[in-house]
Amino acid sequence: MIVWRAYAAVGVGSALGSTLRYLVSLALAGPAFPWATLAVNALGSWLIVGFAAYAARRTRGRVASWQPFLAGGFCGGFTTFSLFGLETLALMHQGHRAAALGYVVASLLLWLVAAWAGHRTGQWLAAARG
Amino acid sequence: MSIDPLVLLVVAGGGGLGGMARLAVGNLVARYLGAGLPWGTLVVNLSGALLMGLAAGMLGLSGPETGLTWPLLAIGLLGGYTTVSTFSLQTLTLWQQRRKAAALGYVALTLGAGVAALAVGAWLAGGLP
């Protein structure tokens, strides 16, 4: 039964995350550069590492028990690797090679800086709650 | 910006199924290849990239004019199946464990093979329109 609860939590979280990602893409639609995916992937990286760092310090807390829903579910569905790749390929296909390269480099840097910042944020919040 | 509730529903359904498929594939791969490197997420992201290439080759590069197929398959299912957040978490964790070569290899493999898998998928489907 525990297995099915994990699948349900991840499924519902991923459905919510995907829907929110779609809404962000509608709100930021327009420019040729894929700002929306860049933003959701960075934000999702910040969140998932924040949750993980917080849960590691507060192992019996609410964030820890909601981890499948929050991490694999919401953050997993909110962020997307396949659409990031498709946008890169599309930029290359349209002849915007510099933009494609810039998109990949900016994405990677932003994802990892966001992850590092999430680690600090999660640790700080866990410590602040004593 | 106009929001079609049916499209939202389709994205949510696809995203939910994609997330559960990610969990299933991730668990299965981890059981066979171990947890030394994050193989599960790597397999998920590379297979998702290949399928996204196939979808783009067959359906064209998105656009709301394609009805519900693109929101269901690409934005929902494949978008929710693949993940960047877990990739970022795993890369940071490898780095913090001082497994810097593994972290760099994981990043290079994900980005390099991911874009290549997409191009192969699109090529198999007859190329991007």
- pLDDT tens-digit map of B46-100: 999 999 999 999 988 765 566 899 999 999 999 999 999 999 999 999 999 999 9
Q: What is the pLDDT of residue B122?
A: 94
Task: Report whether B82 contacts B22 (CB < 8 A).
Answer: yes
Test mutation, B61, B85, B89, B106, chain A, max A CBs within 10 A: B85
Residue B40 near chain A (CB below 8 Å): no
**Which runs of consecutive H residues, i.e. helices, occur in A1-130?**
2-27, 35-57, 62-65, 67, 76-78, 82-93, 97-128
B19 vs A: CB within 8 A: yes
Q: Which two tokens stand for residue A4?
A: 């099915």
Q: How far apart are CA A104 and CA A40, in angstroms?
A: 15
| The pLDDT value given to residue A27 | 93
- Please state, as a whole number, how many other Cβ atoms lie within 10 Å of the Cβ of residue A121: 18
- CB contact A22 to B (< 8 Å): yes
* pLDDT over 70 percentage in chain B: 95
pLDDT score recorded for residue B1: 57
ipTM for the predicted complex: 0.95
Instruction: Name the residue range of residue A18's domain.
Output: 2-128
Residues A104, A98: Cα–Cα separation, whole Å: 10
Phi, psi of B51 (to 5 degrees): -65, -35
Do B88 and A45 meet the contact criterion of CB atoms below 8 Å apart? yes
- Out of B8, B45, B91, closest to residue A81 by CB: B45
Per the structure, how many domains does chain A have? Answer: 1
pLDDT on residue B37: 87
The values of phi and psi at residue B98, to 5°, are 60, 25
| 3-state secondary structure (DSSP) of residue A95 | coil
Tokens of A130: 């004593």
Inspect the interface and report whether the beta carbons of A72 and B86 lie closer than 8 Å. yes
Give the model's confidence band at A106: pLDDT under 50 very low, under 70 low, under 90 confident, else very high: very high
pLDDT for B127: 81
Query: Between the CA of residue B82 and those of A57, A83, B71, B102, what are the distances in Å?
Result: 28, 9, 15, 21
